[in-house]
Amino acid sequence: MPSFDLVDRPWIPCLTVDGRFTELSLREALTRPRDVREIVDPAPTVTVALHRLLLAVLHRALNGPRDVDQWREWWEAGTWNADAVSAYLDRWRHRFDLFAEERPFYQSYEVDERYAAPITKLTHELASPVNPVSLFDHTLPGQMLLTPAQAARYLVAHQAFAVGGLVSGVGDEKYADAAPLCKAAVCLAKGESLFRTLMLNLVAYEPEEGKPFEFRGDDRPAWERNQGPKPADRRPDGYLDLLTWQPRRILLLPETRPDGTDVVPGVVIMKGEQFPDDWELWQGETMVPFRKVRDRPPFPLALSEDRALWRDSLALMQTARARVDESLQPPRLIDWLTELVEFGAFDRRTTFPIDIYGLTTDQAAVRFWRHERLPLPAAILDNQQLVSRVKEILDVAESAGETLRQAVRDIARATLPDGSRDAANLTAALGPERSYWPALEISFYQTVQQLAETRDDDASTRRALASWAKHVGDAARRAFDEAIEPLQESPRAFLAIAEHHRWFTLRLHKTLRVFLDPPVEEVAHG
């Protein structure tokens, strides 16, 4: 029987501080994290899932951090108790063997091998019988082999991001809910080394004090649980249970080649653990922002093909003391960073890079995945006035975008012989916002940084807001010109453009003038 010990065999893809790409074992990554710049994998799902795995090991091995004081002790020392981490891995080594006979890592032997499928079924980006659309690869189903290291990475990612829908099985077991992070925008604070990245995301863990959330039960990560996952509803026992949640019963099917090397050509994937109706992800997840609509429970904020996440960045900025949009709930991670700033672990001039990972699905097929980065100034985290300013600049951009959409839509309607019919299709084809929003992203981050540095300086605030208004106006006018350019040869369109261009210009100025030329009192008191 093959064996692959994740504790001491290299499998975690890393970029070292001296610029080398390499694979490290669990022990190496967690006892020498200052030698690693970052974990990097072509698949964002793998990258974020590996971080969550490492965090679960650290929380369990170190039994903390219990509070900010203990966290600061590790941060300022530049290390945690590496001996305790190493001893913990030795204690549970038998549960970190990818091909163990009794409890293979992150897997279950309680599956039916008659449902064996090509290993591509474990991945999101490779073609497979259930998802023939390939994002970045054109490997044909059945031709793919994974090394044990690759299989381990995809296994961890699949348990975090598995798409909901039909799975192997019979009766009620043929349908499985999506994994906790599927469709969610997952946030990870980044540092200049793996040590600092893991520390920034190592939130206070003190179950008796309800940190990071209230839970009941004996909280254990997946490899410490006495039984593997069952195809049944279950509430998470705690934070470590949630970090290593097993929504699928998976079994890798390895084989040994004649040359003695082990490969993984097949896999069985069946329904695993599901959240019951009375438990929602927002009740415990620390890395995901949520949105609430009317009386529905909060649901994860997701990445979108046509909407960059910075347009919803209030979900990453407002805390309990600086709430301006009650429909948005920031990740608990943001509250933790705010607490670190409040207790002096970081200067308010600090900017936290926040990486956001996620994928979007449609009818059990992955449409796209994305990795974005948002610079988050510490000064804004608990400042109601600054968060309100950010909301204002976002509102102005949205208003200008709506003015742009409406002007182009009216021109399209006037251009068509039959009026409004098909106007929506023509407007979509012209794509008035295709260049508008991307043109604002960098300016938005710069404006937020400028506002964070104003420190109640009215003149600096006015300059930052005026500069933002100018960027918005320039972007909207360029986008308008680009959208109507294909219509210039049409006589009907020429008249419509002449009529609606003036309306667009006046409406745009009305939207922007609140920032371009407001009275001093209006800026000072909002």
Q: Which 3 state secondary structure label does DSSP give 403?
A: helix
Number of neighbouring beta carbons within 10 Å of residue 261: 11
Alpha-carbon span 386 to 344, nearest angstrom: 20
Rg (alpha carbons) of the chain, rounded to whole number: 26
Cβ atoms of 376 and 317 within 8 Å: the answer is yes
Q: Mean pLDDT in runs of 10 for the chain (526 residues)? A: 94 96 98 96 94 98 96 96 98 97 92 93 63 42 81 97 88 89 94 98 94 89 93 95 97 94 96 94 95 90 84 87 84 95 94 91 70 92 91 95 92 75 82 92 95 82 93 95 83 78 91 71 35
C-alpha 388/C-alpha 379 separation (Å) is: 13
Q: Which pLDDT score, from 0 to 100, does residue 358 have?
A: 87
**What are φ and ψ of residue 100, in 5° steps?**
-60, 150
Residue 215 CB contacts under 8 Å (≥ 6 apart), including other chains: 207, 236, 237, 238, 239, 284
Question: So what's the pLDDT on residue 526?
Answer: 33
**Residue 331 structure tokens:** 């990740």
Residue 110 contacts residue 228 (beta carbons within 8 Å): yes
CA distances from 84 to 30, 67, 89 (A): 11, 19, 9
What is the separation of C-alpha 247 from the centre of its chain, rounded to a whole number of angstroms?
A: 19
- Please give the Cα distance from 202 to 79 (Å, whole number): 13
What whole-number distance in Å separates Cα of residue 241 and Cα of residue 368? 28
Strand partners, 93: none
Q: Nearest 5 degrees, angle CA 214-CA 219-CA 220?
A: 150
Q: Give the closest residue to 47 by CA, choosing from 38, 39, 56.
A: 39
pLDDT of residue 118: 95
Task: With residue 351 as reference, give the H or E element that holds it.
Answer: strand 351-362
Give me 46's structure tokens.
Answer: 């793998």
Tally of CB atoms within 10 A around 95: 19
> Which pLDDT belongs to residue 423?
79
> Quick one: which of 153, 119, 123 has its CA closest to 135?
123
Q: Is 322 helix (H, G, I), strand (E, B) or coil?
A: coil
| Contact of 62 with 125, CB cutoff 8 Å | no
Amino acid found at 215: F
